[in-house]
Amino acid sequence: MDQSPKAPASPSVERHVVLVAPEVHWNTGNIGRTCLGAGAFLHLVKPLGFSLAEREVKRAGLDYWPRVRLSVWECFEEFLAAAAPSSAEMALFAKKGSRPFWHMTPPQRFFLVFGAETRGLSPDILARYPANTYHIPITREVRCLNLSTSVGIALYESLRTASPFHAWS
């Protein structure tokens, strides 16, 4: 995979979705499609619970998958070294995140980090950014939202007040 980021869709807003150890191929395909539609980069941090060559990933991403701005990293440390996000540029999503997602104040360059579908983010990763954890409020009727739904909610909320994106509507 190409490890070098390409030019963002908007010169003033840059969004990155980071999936750490994603397990479900159709979630990743859907997230790739959402990233393409929002002009965001997609970063996958190994281990992956599937092969990127699987037809299910491509089917979920439809014919858009080849155009997704995708980077695959061997580990979270490798991702951090290459992308070099500041702490202020990180938003980590967890069921017990400290604040609701609508309290995000995203800078122009922003990384939205999500963990595996069944385990979430590791305590080690969460401990690195204790002031940057968010949750998406839900009722007690469900354990959690689907990962691709959560990414869509958080990504578009991070773009909501970005002026170049108001022109889309």
61 is in an annotated binding site: no
31 is in an annotated binding site: no
Distance between CA atoms of 85 and 90, rounded to whole angstroms?
A: 7
What is the token pair recorded at 130? Answer: 């204790």
What is the token pair recorded at 15? Answer: 């969004």
Burial 26-40 (b: 16+ CB within 10 A, else e): bbbbbbbbbbbebbb
Binding residues, by number, are 115, 136
Binding residues for S-adenosyl-L-methionine, by number, are 115, 136
